[in-house]
Amino acid sequence: MTKTLWVLFLVFLPFLAALVYLLTRGKGMAERAAARQQQAQEQFEGYVRSVATPADATATPADQIARAKELLDAGTIDQAEFDRLKAKALA
């Protein structure tokens, strides 16, 4: 009988301790989890904004044409593509 009670004590006491811990600390854990989720969402939105915004969005037309000229000189684009980029920058 004593061994049976001892085994039941060992089995159910950890569950009881976990239940008490969750009841007393559960609100704080939920608040921290919500704060981490909010921070992750803000980081994700910042990343999406940085990727979605073209690099040349804030560049002046002169900067865009200079960049296109560098690409033309490097052989990355041909003259027709340079002319199209130049016209787009001046528009």
Q: Is the same domain home to 23 and 45? A: yes
SS3 state at 10: helix
Asked if residue 80 and residue 48 are part of one domain, the reply reads no
Task: Determine the pLDDT at residue 56.
Answer: 54
The total of structural domains in the chain comes to 2
Please give the average per-residue pLDDT across 21-40, as a whole number.
91
47 and 61 co-located in one domain = no
Residue range(s) defining the domain that contains residue 11: 1-53
> Residues 31, 66: one domain?
no
- Residue bearing the bigger pLDDT, 37 or 18: 37
pLDDT of 83 strictly over 60: yes
Give the residue from 87, 81, 85 showing the smallest Cα distance to 54. 85
User: Same domain for 8 and 47?
Assistant: yes
Residues 73 and 46 in one domain: no
Residue 10 has pLDDT above 80, yes or no: no
Report the 10 Å Cβ neighbour count for 81.
13
For the beta carbon of residue 55, count every other beta carbon within 10 angstroms.
Answer: 8
Are 48 and 67 within one domain?
A: no
Same domain? For 28 and 46 the reply is yes
Contact 90, 66 (CB under 8 A): no
pLDDT digits (tens, 9 = 90+) for 46-77: 888 877 766 555 678 888 899 899 999 988 89
Q: What is the 3-state secondary structure (H, E, C) of 27-59?
A: HHHHHHHHHHHHHHHHHHHHHHHHHHCCHHHCC
Residues 44 and 63 in one domain: no
Cα gap 89→16, rounded to integer Å: 70
pTM of the model: 0.43
Percent of the chain residues topping a pLDDT of 90: 29
